[in-house]
Chain A
């Protein structure tokens, strides 16, 4: 896959909640090659501190040469990104990694928790473009509270896929965890679960799918320096022993390929 380093202009800045920001960037080369589940490495700031780029999933890639990222402010890098303004440029490198492998003929279950919702919008869009029967598909989203999910719900609704939302505190949708939804759902064993979210959630989704023989693809995170297979810093335990590297073997893995240490 071709990778591109682009000076991407910020087209739109949306503060979707006190802690979350969505940026729309003009990055035509990256947008053209991006697939759901791919990520980009973005330089926050121009100096030597913070030094490393920060990885973000591609939230959407729009045919007019734009990409979106959706992130939460957790530390210095994301704080700097949250202070950017429309018209500024960011050094963006991507698209990187192995994305979701869409099984066009099989029912799709998109399961997102917290910021893990971010890459699923792009996935939902591409699944809808496969032009197949969407009636059996499901989107299941969970967050800590209203702010985590509510702002994105209209974007997911535009695809017309059945959508269910839960929040930990019940401030939006039903109260509970997204994994509760999964249990309540009648998941067709011939379907595919596409999940992204915090690791404990993914571990539970993986176990649920393993128990029922349902195919399961998960997008996971790790700390990264290069994002392209050069530093070997992003290792995770593989189920077959040894390590896999999130930036080149993932970030989307078949759940059964990973060792879930919980």
Chain B
């Protein structure tokens, strides 16, 4: 017999209070597309479920006065796709979020859940890392911010402290000539888990890269920020030598597993190939082509 209790608080303070009080038996419900599968398969038997979707901040998409965005942790991929300007400013983040599952899953699944699920292969995470996104977290000891790349601790684990809830993502304002892209390698064209995922965000001036960030997924226990790859791109015109150097940096950063989707050698090689392809798309977008 289940002893499950379902709570749907309308304020963040209530949610944090209930979540912290229930301790390790509690689970946060955003889109539920991971949680319900884990419950059904018997991996998880939560005592309390805290549904955060009645808290307005959790489901809001807001363009901040500085031109950045604040996205509630429970905003679904479909809601993000329907937003008028978000996809124009952050096309790579949007395409990453909209590679998560099917249209049905995108109707519910959120970037917040994707990050907190702690999968190294979560599609939105490398794109968020490349975007330089930060998250706002609220817990019993108040609010704090973390960079997205600092949130995952390993497969299925995060650096959130007990009782803390992920509230929103903050994406920085973008200088002119900026864009981003996300590509993943999967064995089929839809509905699969990334063998390698790569997010690249670029700022360009007169054909030269002035700023870059690279996020890499599914090649290590956590999603990686690959600073050496970004360094190889910055100052270049994305010529073959710079791209080769950045690709080598991506491959060097890989510490993947061998599994049915891809071997260590394959994932390591594909990471470099994807970097080149993703950077090319981001550059094209940044130059308005």
A and B pair up: no
